[in-house]
Structure 1
C-alpha cells in the first residue's frame, strides 16, 4: 500500500504577474514591520531589542523623508568625497595652528607652481 506523494502545482503564467504586481504595490506604497523583543528574568528586564523594517522604493522613501544612504560615506561616493574634504580642511586648520609658518610656505609653493 503506497501513497503517491502530492506534487506541487506548476507555476502558471498568472503567478509571476501576481508576484510582480504585489511587489510593485508594496514598493509603491511601502510597508512597515515593527516588533519588540524583550528578555526578562524574574520580572527583571535584561534585554530589549526594538526592530523596525521599512520596505519601499527609493522614491517612496524620499517622499517619507528617509534618505540616510545619501549622507552615509559607506554608501555614497558624494558623501565620501564630502567627508574627505571636511577631514582635509580640519587637518589643514590643525596644521596651521601648530605651525603657522608651514602654511605660509605651502601657499607660496602652490603659487609658484601655478
Structure 2
C-alpha cells in the first residue's frame, strides 16, 4: 500500500527563513522609496508633498551619512542633554551680562 503524496506547504516551511534573509539583505544594503504628490488647480500648484522612505540598518544609514535621529531631542537622550546644556550656557551668559549691566548702572549712581 502506498501513502498518498503530501502536498507542499503553501507558505513553505522555510518561509520565515526566506523572510529573514530578505530582511537581512534589505537592512544590509538599504532601500529607498521616493515619491512626490502635487495638487494643482488650473495650473496653480496648491500643495506639494515629498515623501522619502529609507529602510536600512543604523550602521548602513550612518555609513550613508544619515544620522538625524542623533540630534533630535525627542528621539535621543544625548541630544536632549546637549540641548539643555546649550540652553543652560546661554542663560548663564545672559545672567552674567545683566549682572554686569546692573553693576555699571549702580557705579554711575
TM-score range, shorter chain: 0.7 to 0.9
Are 2:41 and 1:13 equivalent residues in the alignment?
no
Distance 2:68 2:79 in 1: 10
Q: How many residues align?
A: 94
Normalised by the size of structure 2, how large is the TM-score? Answer: 0.79
SS of the equivalent of 1:82 reads helix
SS of the equivalent of 1:84 reads helix
Q: Residues 17-40 of structure 1, C-alpha deviation per residue, up to 9 Å, x if partnerless?
A: 111111111000000000010111
Distance 2:69 2:35 in 1: 23
Are 2:50 and 1:81 equivalent residues in the alignment?
no
Normalised by the size of structure 1, how large is the TM-score? Answer: 0.75
| Structure 1 residues without counterparts, runs of 5 or longer | 1-8, 103-114
Q: Which residue of 2 aligns with 1:55?
A: 55
Q: Which residue of 1 aligns with 2:25?
A: 25
Q: Which residue of 1 aligns with 2:42?
A: 42
Distance 2:101 2:38 in 1: 59
| Structure 2 residues without counterparts, runs of 5 or longer | 1-8, 103-109
Q: What's the RMSD between the two structures over aligned residues?
A: 1.8
Q: After TM superposition, which residue ranges in structure 1, 4 or more long, deviate above 2 angstroms?
A: 9-12
SS of the equivalent of 2:72 reads coil
Measure how far apart 1:101 and its partner are: 8.9
SS of the equivalent of 2:28 reads helix
Are 2:103 and 1:70 equivalent residues in the alignment?
no
Measure how far apart 1:100 and its partner are: 3.1
Distance 1:101 1:45 in 2: 52
